[in-house]
Amino acid sequence: GRTAARMTKPTDAGEPASTAELMSRYVSAERGYRVPREGWRICLAHEFKEKRKPFQARDVSLSNVKKHIGLGVRYLKWWYRKTQVEKKAPFIDMFRALPLRQIYGAPLGGIGGGTITRGWRGEFCRWQLNPGMYHYETVIANQFTVCLRRGHQTVYQQVLSVERPSTLQGWNWGYCGEYAFYHALYPRAWTVYHLPGQNVTLTCRQVSPVIPHDYKDSCLPVAVLIWDIENKNDYPLDVSIMFTMTNGSGHKDDKSGGHWNEPFHLEKQGESVSGVLLHHCTPINPYTLCIAAREQPDREISYQTAFLPKGTCETLWSDLISDGRLDSPTGSSPPTQKGEKVAAALAVSCLVPAQGHNSMEFSLAWDMPRITFGSLYVYVCYRRYTRFFGSQGDSASSLCHYGLTHYQDWETRIEAWQTPILEDSSLPSWYKSALFNELYFLVDGGTVWVELAEDADITGSQSCEYGGLPAQPSVIKEYGRFAYLEGQEYRMYNTYDVHFYASFALIMLWPKLALSLQYDIAGCVVQQDLTERLNLMSGQYSPVKTRNVVPHDIGDPDDEPWLRVNAYLIHDTANWKDLNLKFVLHVYRDFYLTQDKQYLEDMWPICQVVMDSEMKFDRDGDGLIENSGFADQTYDGWTVTGPSAYCGGLWLASVCVMCKMARLMDNNSVYHRYKDILDRGSAAFDSLLWNGQYYNYDSSGRELSSSVMSDQCAGQWLLRASGLGEGEYQVCAFPVDKVRRALKSVFELNVQGFARGQMGAVNGMRPEGVPDRSSVQSDEVWVGVVYGLAATMIHEGMLEEGFRTAEGCYRTVWEQLGMAFQTPEAYCEKGIFRSLAYMRPLSIWAMQLALDSRRCNGSVTEGEPVEAASPPEAH
């Protein structure tokens, strides 16, 4: 386990074989302008060979259909009422899962202000402007076009798109993708276009303000696109690049009428920008798009305020081709008629000397400051960026100006954060790409970052028997409220059992947001909603939310998040044991990493009350909670009886951190109470579940009890991540030798024994070496769980096994299945996947924390992965 790096070093050709496959159709020798080596790279002509289909109701096996026939009937009735009667989108749609489109690239924009995603071929193709609600539509008129002129004559004009659409046929489409490649290292991306026969190379660099420990610029809904132009001819060229943008997102409301555009010029602090504002005037959540360019010496900006993006659109094309400039009319466009779309164009021109270089800068911003949720649209929030740019809906031009004048500072800070990791030769290239590119979900997870309302009370004026929380915790007042979806297809905010894994990215990079989220969850714990609701799994009615339990989620963006929690209605949330345990584990881990004593003091009463609620599951009085029916929320498809490795391990880890927190709070009685439980529970756990090679799935004695669960050491993982797991705060049931033996069994069976060791760890494996197919989830690979497993291995000194385990997931998702920037929750060995663009894979940052911890503990030796320097603090 000394060197994972040797195992995964690139080949002599400079790239691993699978990466080389993504670039195999690239025919140019050009590498672009200052494009980094590390990241995810793909030729625009690449076609993925494997085409998978999403998991849907028809994919459930006959045996599982028989088990869950009642669930199926109840879900169908609920689905029909939701879609056909209420005319709303289900929070999970088992009949209309998103098909796989192998097109997505890095999203544009900062955190919580909405996102626009550009595909790796340059398309504007995924839109999340309305909070949490996605629209998947490629808007074909949104393009960049290049015009080359020599001696006052246009010699080349081309849309930089490989598409050949049936509309806008007056434009020159069909750029040859074999001469271009895309390179992503989030939050930046590069597209390199070699212009065939022109001796010119264009590099478009996309920069979004996603900067660790920054709580101002990171919330801005703006991105900057810098074009570097290399002219390798012996004569100068006049180069123009035109940016065209439709007023809208490809949604039906683009044709609702009343939308209009206007040109603008804005000068601040000696810097000027010009462009076009596109006002999208819908009755609900109106917004303004802005395309702009920075005015610089020897660069000319021109524009077309409005054109109709239909038919041949020859007028705009001819306008540019005639002199490399656009007409630039004065005044705004008239509002659109119903059924009509409108678009705008912005062009920048500059002279590029012979054998020389020049550049130009564009920006794109969107201003939707006031957002409403729910069918009645009465729940109003103001996005975080309004604290700095106002909430009147007139800030789009200022956002573009700010982006164009600050992006160089953003890049300086991004490079200071990333460079130590990128330059660490002991870390494999795939890991560097995965670590940064998986962060896309913090921005593109339907994310909202909003201001706390002046009259808000996160507790609903409730408290628990051990004390109360502040109604407006200082961290929320200062840094706002944060929420992200479980997945783009699983539309629930802050799904807590999944956040348990994903939270490592947040606590390491934006810790104030992690703490803010925890306060919101804690505020929900003390509240209740006794409205009776049908649980689809059991067919029984139960309250939506009972007191003193952690909610599954804080709501659906199509309802009223923060006000109506537990959108998930498959099960009765009052009996999910793992949510309370995960909350307690998070509280101490977050305190350990932030040393925020006020946070610990505020959370201590909540930890006590949720642990009290768990005690009822210790039915035998042996210090170990039991399961009945479904194990927990994370693995809610697996039936469990008696104590289990997963929930039992989380319980013991939670008891352990309660001991630690009791010491910190100088509460000896609580310490001794939990120390007694820990000793008894550890003995019972070891006796009931350890079989000499690993921890059994559960203790029921059924045939499937001996299945090997990949996530069986989750409790020990969180202890290690919290600086515990040894000495006084070691769980006796988790001695190092047994944990390592269990992890080796998982590696041998779930990793190497599955799919030739090339696809990560399958959730469940039988000891005889075949996948456990007892449920719809047991034979799946969960990418986020695998990254957590890899982190556990690294904590325990098994670096080679950890990196090999995680590598299988990255190669499968990003290089074989074409799921870049939409990493799914799960995939099977063959055929299907489930839930694209999912929260849990952010857990790859747990691997980085494990590497950091090893260095801090003096465990790193030469050749092993080492910690990167801490990100710079915000300005």
Residue by residue, DSSP assigns 297-311 as: TTEEEEEEEEE--SS
**What is the rounded average pLDDT of the residues 768-780?**
92
Residue 390, φ and ψ in degrees, nearest 5: 85, 165
Please compute the mean of the pLDDT values over residues 262-270 and round it to a whole number: 97
The yes-or-no verdict on residue 200 having pLDDT over 70 is: yes
DSSP 858: T
When pLDDT is averaged across residues 241-249 and rounded to a whole number, the result is 98
Contact 249, 255 (CB under 8 A): no
pLDDT of residue 575: 55
Q: Tens of pLDDT along 93-138?
A: 988 899 999 999 999 999 999 999 999 999 999 999 999 999 999 9
For 644-698, write each residue's pLDDT tens digit: 999 999 999 999 999 999 999 999 999 999 999 999 999 999 999 999 999 999 9
Mean pLDDT score, 25-32? 96
Which pLDDT score, from 0 to 100, does residue 639 have?
A: 58
pLDDT at 629 over 70: no
What is the predicted pLDDT for the residue at 637? 52
23 φ, ψ to 5°? Answer: -105, 10
What pLDDT score was predicted for residue 864? 45
Token code pair at residue 188? 């930046």
Please count the other Cβ atoms lying within 10 Å of the Cβ belonging to residue 330.
7
Minimum mean pLDDT range among 302-311, 730-739, 816-825:
730-739
Distance CA 740, CA 745 (A): 9
Average pLDDT in the 511-519 region?
A: 98
Q: What is the pLDDT of residues 408-421, one digit of tens each?
A: 999 999 999 999 99
Q: How confident is the model at residue 572 (pLDDT cuts 50, 70, 90)?
A: low
Q: Is 41 exposed, middle or buried (0-12, 13-18, 19+ CB in 10 A)?
A: buried
* H helix runs in 771-841, sequence order: 783-795, 799-810
With cut-offs at 50, 70 and 90, classify the pLDDT of residue 465.
Answer: confident
Q: Distances from the Cα of 142 to the Cαs of 130, 311, 344, 518, in angstroms? A: 19, 15, 9, 40
Res. 448: pLDDT tops 90: yes
Quick one: pLDDT at residue 642?
76
How many C-beta atoms lie closer than 10 Å to residue 795's C-beta? 28
The mean per-residue pLDDT over the stretch 29-54 comes to 97
pLDDT at residue 138, as a whole number: 97
Reported as a pLDDT band with limits 50, 70 and 90, residue 573 is low
State yes or no: pLDDT of 872 exceeds 60.
no
Q: Round to whole Å and give the CA distance between 5 and 670.
A: 45
Interacting residues of 376 by C-beta distance below 8 A, sequence separation 6+? none
| Tokens (6 digits) for 663 | 């010491």
Highest mean pLDDT among 170-184, 367-381, 465-479: 170-184
* Two tokens, residue 592: 């350990």
What average pLDDT does this structure show over 271-291?
97
Q: Which of 665, 679, 672, 682 is nearest to 716 (CA)?
A: 682
Query: What are 43's strand-pairing partners?
Result: 181
Q: For residue 389, give the DSSP letter.
A: H
pLDDT at 631: 43
| Parallel/antiparallel/unpaired status of strands 781-782 and 826-827 | antiparallel
Q: How far apart are CA 457 and CA 474, in angstroms?
A: 12
Provide the edge-to-edge strand list for the sheet that holds 153-159.
153-159, 143-150, 237-246, 343-352, 299-307
Instruction: Please name the residues in contact with 722: beta carbons below 8 A apart, sequence gap of 6 or more.
Output: 585, 588, 589, 592, 657
Strand extents, DSSP E, 259-316:
260-268, 271-280, 287-294, 299-307
53-54/832-834 β-pairing: parallel
Tell me the pTM: 0.94
Could you report the per-residue pLDDT of 815-866, keeping only the tens digit for each? Answer: 999 999 999 999 999 999 999 999 999 999 999 999 999 988 776 543 443 3
CB 521 within 8 A of CB 506: no
